Amino acid sequence: MIIGIALYNCDQITALQAYNVAMEFFNVASIEITGAGYYQLLNNGDHPGDHDIIETTLEDLAQQIKCGNATAFRVYKEGIKQPWEASFGYMTNEFGSFHHIDVQFPDSIGGHDLITSFFTNSARNLLAPYGITYSTTDVLDAFYYATGDNFVTVFPYENTIPWQRETPGLYQGTSRYTHSLLRMVYSHNLLNSNHMSLEIGGINLSDWISAGGVNRGKLQELDNNFTLWIVDNELIDELNELLGNAGLLISWQPPKNKIKKTIP
């Protein structure tokens, strides 16, 4: 399985800050970086945002970022399967997308501890208002899911179209996931104080999760008033249904009841 991580609306994050977090991630995960590149707009592109990737060395990428020539980049480890085994990308709205960070790596490299370490570092050094973790069987699916492209889903009760319409950039969405909604409930959810104040069942989300006598995951306080909501896999479906029916999930799509055919 491939683990994907996404941080959203990273417009307050510089390329250098993202680069430093990427270097720490690969170091903590003991993953060797074998490729690097940065994005550059095409002078005669057919559409706004048409771009190319300038492949370069890790040392040159760092220099290009520091001097301001590289504003969006990707570092990765090549693998047997294309396009990479593990990857960290920082994208901006200059290149036809929107400000976000996406990460992919095999679950054999690391699980809960690596994810928690990443979000702890992100809360300390970055100001992305929302982050998620998810799993797919394919690295490209993990890559596309971060932005909602190619209709990739990770749940059978999920609709990608409402999510896309919320994102900035091409869709000019209002990004309500930064303050008043969640995309879905995942194993790890990086939330800010606005999320924790959302109301469900007559109480705020923070108290609802922590309510005694019921297991709704656990909350881990991070720097800069961020909270990591950690959910056991066996609880994810139930929590998605509860928050989905409460109107707090962007992509929630209630499962369709199958109609049993009767023999006349």
pLDDT in tens, 47-82: 655 668 899 999 999 999 999 999 999 999 998 878
Query: How high does pLDDT run on average in the chain?
Result: 92
Residue spans of the domains in the chain: they are: 2-245
pLDDT of 10 reads 95
Tell me how many degrees the CA angle 29-33-37 measures, rounded to the nearest 5.
Answer: 130
pLDDT score at 79: 86
Closest by CA position to 20, among listed 54, 62, 68, 63? 62
| pLDDT over 90, % of the chain | 83
d(CA 157, CA 149): 17
pLDDT at 9: 95
pLDDT tens digit sequence for 91-141: 998 877 899 999 999 999 888 999 999 999 999 999 999 999 999 999 999
Spatial neighbors of 71 by CB under 8 A, at least 6 apart, are 15, 38, 39, 92, 94
| pLDDT grade for 261, boundaries at 50, 70 and 90 | very low
How far is the C-alpha of 210 from the C-alpha of 217, rounded, in Å? 8
Q: What is the pLDDT at residue 169?
A: 82
Q: Tens of pLDDT along 40-50?
A: 876 665 565 56
CA–CA distance, 136 with 233 (Å, rounded to integer): 14
Name the residue among 101, 102, 97, 104 with its Cα closest to residue 51. 97
pLDDT score for 110:
82
Exposed/middle/buried for residue 54 (C-beta within 10 Å: 0-12, 13-18, 19+): middle
Asked whether residue 17 carries a pLDDT value surpassing 90, the answer given is yes
Q: Which residues pair with 76 in a beta bridge?
A: 35, 87
189-244 pLDDT, tens digit each = 999 999 999 999 999 999 999 997 889 999 999 999 999 999 999 999 999 999 99
Q: What are the phi and psi torsion angles at 83 (to 5°)? A: -90, -15
Residue found by looking up tokens 């085994």 in the block: 85
pLDDT at 263 over 60: no
Band of residue 260 on the pLDDT scale cut at 50, 70, 90: very low
Helices and strands (DSSP H and E) totals, the chain = 8, 12
- Tell me what the mean pLDDT of segment 19-26 comes to: 96
On whether the CB atoms of residues 94 and 152 are closer than 8 A, the answer is no
Phi, psi of 152 (to 5 degrees): -75, 130
pLDDT at 12 over 50: yes
